[in-house]
Structure 1
Amino acid sequence: MATSSKVPVEHVKGVNGLEKVILREGRKCSVEVYLYGGHVTSWKNNNGEELLFVSSKAIFKPPKAIRGGIPICFPQFSSHGSLEQHGFARNRFWSIDTDPPPFPTNTTYKTFVDLILKPSEEDIKIWPHSYEFRLRITLGPGGDLMLISRIRNTNLDGKPFSFTFAYHTYFSVSDISEVRVEGLETLDYLDNLEEKERFTEQGDAITFESEVDKIYLSALNKIAIIDHEKKRTFVLRKEGLPDAVVWNPWDKKAKAMADFGDDEYKHMLCVEAAAIEKPITLRPGEEWKGKQELIVVPSSYCSGQLDPQRVLFG
């Protein structure tokens, strides 16, 4: 895409003076991205409605990750070895990528920002690999939000590295008890509340009555999050990310988190495009790409089915 056609982005100071950029499209569509974490913290539609959840108690102060929005989990999802939970990309300062290589993005999408993360000397001590992580965040003409991650192994010692990954997306919902997720039925999942034991999803859709923390394996590339009360559906489309995480902490865990309101679990749901079960391995010079696209469409119930069904299956 020619840089001359790109819509300029606003550079402003956010909470606690942290730098952020704002993308705007149409009347009221906007996206806000903090350079701290390469972290999308706001996505608004043409009515100015906020579509992402960020906790009122979120701590915008390094090294704490921002609670809500779309944290980037890299180079690991969850906790393994000496790395902190969900890796370190979400609490590092990213830079504006002033000379990105071409992204295969729809040429009608002119509102975007390119960020880049490279390891510091301290990072290499805890994860001894050299990489370039490029992130393009795009706001489409209709208000669609797209994130494309490209991770390249730049090791000079000939060594490959492996990682797991997730876009830890917090959706804003009216009432978690009125939400259902379609597109994950019949799949096998790992239940983090049962020491990652493997089960098969039995319901025709996922509904919520208690804490949920599941990793769905080999998920469809389209997942629908239906908010009955708001009569809207989020459609998540993904590429290069075979798994999907569904998480809501419910009341006890919510109260145990200092950066999360006691009752805020009622108004959020994490559905995450991810690559977890089978780590991605890159040899030097190799690059991986993972894309998540989020759209919002009007929806209503019709005998418990998504209406129109073509949103999910078309």
Structure 2
Amino acid sequence: MSIEKVPSSSAQPPSSASSSPFELRKGVNGLHKVVLREVRGSSVEVYLYGSHVTSWKNDHGEELLFVSSKAIFKPPKPIRGGIPLCFPQFSNHGPLESHGFARNRFWCVDPDPPPFTNTLSKAFVDLILKPTEEDMKIWPHSFEFRLRVALGPGGDLMLTSRIRNTNTDGKPFTFTFAYHTYFSVSDINEVRVEGLETLDYLDNLRNKERFTEQGDALTFESEVDKIYLSTPTKIAILDHEKKRTFVIRKDGLPDAVVWNPWDKKAKAMADFGDDEYKHMLCVEAAAIEKPITLKPGEEWKGRIELSAVPSSYCSGQLDPQRVLQSS
């Protein structure tokens, strides 16, 4: 966990920026979105509604994230798919609405962000969220949430969240958090997840009971909703049919959620296609089991880096363990 003391800032971000190389466009239903592009052809789209990444394409123009064809781009409904931000509460692990409120608030582009250590990428945008009076009624804490979305030269997607306690009453606050990433996969039956073997997990389908993973790798034959605890900094998702491996690198996020609703729950969701569960898998970097507590002036940072590499597990071109062990 990364928590540090930082100086306060009174700067108020306007709704657009000139310091970062990105495009501000209108998306679905007129909602504004930011488009980042790398010179080699990869791209990212981020809606200001929810600071929500809805597209991540490689340099061949292939979409790497899943967004439901039935997603409702209309506030206050969260967008189904992409990378929702779960803050200040993951799921129903607390008193607030499921997954908190950050994913269905309008964020601003920050033209004058604080310095970030990782500034190698030229394609990035900084977004900021501060609580409204209505937010303070349901969660009575003052905070500043900054998100940097960056696209690396090789097409890697990097998300860095900085959350600071700006309470003036001296009170700390506690929260849970997740990057609720929906990966696009060819067929859920042809996917396996490496890096979570032998770990303990909380099973949300069994009243959050604690179990230990027994398999050599995670494969999928039915609904899954698990919170893996004390996970490694790298996790790999192998898609045999597409010969593609996603690698998740994370920092400040000890837990990992694995979720697929399968057929019955898919049919029960109005904003999710009946058969779309076959083509998505959520593997989410998170901080859930041990909530983060910040005193006034303290800041927490949680970061993920996502990459997609060509691979063929069956032909031995890529050893998943080598992916997990490499730097």
Band of TM-score, shorter chain: over 0.9
Amino acid of the structure 1 residue aligned with 2:112: D
Q: In the alignment, is residue 221 of structure 1 matched against residue 233 of structure 2?
A: yes
- Tell me the residue number matched to 1:8: 21
Q: In the alignment, is residue 288 of structure 1 matched against residue 314 of structure 2?
A: no
Amino acid of the structure 1 residue aligned with 2:92: S
Give the Cα–Cα distance (whole angstroms) in 1 for the partners of residues 300 and 43 of structure 2.
28
- Give 1:116 deviation, angstroms: 0.2
Give the Cα–Cα distance (whole angstroms) in 1 for the partners of residues 170 and 20 of structure 2.
40
- Tell me the residue number matched to 2:104: 91
- Tell me the residue number matched to 2:70: 57
User: Which structure ranks higher in relative contact order (CA pairs < 8 Å, sequence separation ≥ 6)?
Assistant: 2
Secondary structure class of the residue paired with 1:289:
strand
- Tell me the residue number matched to 1:185: 197
Q: For residues 1-314 of structure 1, what are the structure 2 equivalents within 5 Å? A: 8-105=21-118, 107-302=119-314, 307=319, 309-314=321-326
Amino acid of the structure 2 residue aligned with 1:110: K
Q: Is the 8 A contact 2:236 2:320 kept in 1?
A: no
Q: Is the 8 A contact 2:158 2:305 kept in 1?
A: yes
Amino acid of the structure 2 residue aligned with 1:165: F
Decide whether aligned partners of structure 1 residues 144 and 81 sit closer, same or farther in structure 2, where only a CA change above 3 A counts.
closer
Decide whether aligned partners of structure 1 residues 252 and 305 sit closer, same or farther in structure 2, where only a CA change above 3 A counts.
farther
Cα deviation 1:231-284 (Å, max 9, x = unaligned): 010000000000000000000000000000000000000000000000000000
Amino acid of the structure 2 residue aligned with 1:311: V
Secondary structure class of the residue paired with 1:79:
coil
Q: Is the 8 A contact 1:6 1:112 kept in 2?
A: no
- Give 1:166 deviation, angstroms: 0.1
- Give 1:310 deviation, angstroms: 2.2
Cα deviation 1:152-195 (Å, max 9, x = unaligned): 00000000000000000000000000000000000000000000
Q: Which runs of 5+ in 2 are unaligned?
A: 1-17
Give the Cα–Cα distance (whole angstroms) in 2 for the partners of residues 130 and 253 of structure 1.
36
State, as a whole percentage, how many aligned pairs show the same letter: 83
Where has structure 1 moved over 3 Å in runs of 4 or more?
302-306
Give the Cα–Cα distance (whole angstroms) in 1 for the partners of residues 169 and 102 of structure 2.
23
TM-score by length of 1: 0.96
Q: Is the 8 A contact 1:236 1:294 kept in 2?
A: yes
Give the Cα–Cα distance (whole angstroms) in 2 for the partners of residues 195 and 305 of structure 1.
40
Give the Cα–Cα distance (whole angstroms) in 2 for the partners of residues 297 and 81 of structure 1.
37
TM-score by length of 2: 0.92
Amino acid of the structure 2 residue aligned with 1:88: F
- Give 1:308 deviation, angstroms: 5.8
Q: Which runs of 5+ in 1 are unaligned?
A: none
- Give 1:129 deviation, angstroms: 0.1
Cα deviation 1:112-152 (Å, max 9, x = unaligned): 00000000000000000000000000000000000000000
Instruction: Choose 292-301 or 282-291, whichever is displaced more.
Output: 292-301
Q: What value does the CA root-mean-square deviation take over the aligned residues?
A: 1.5
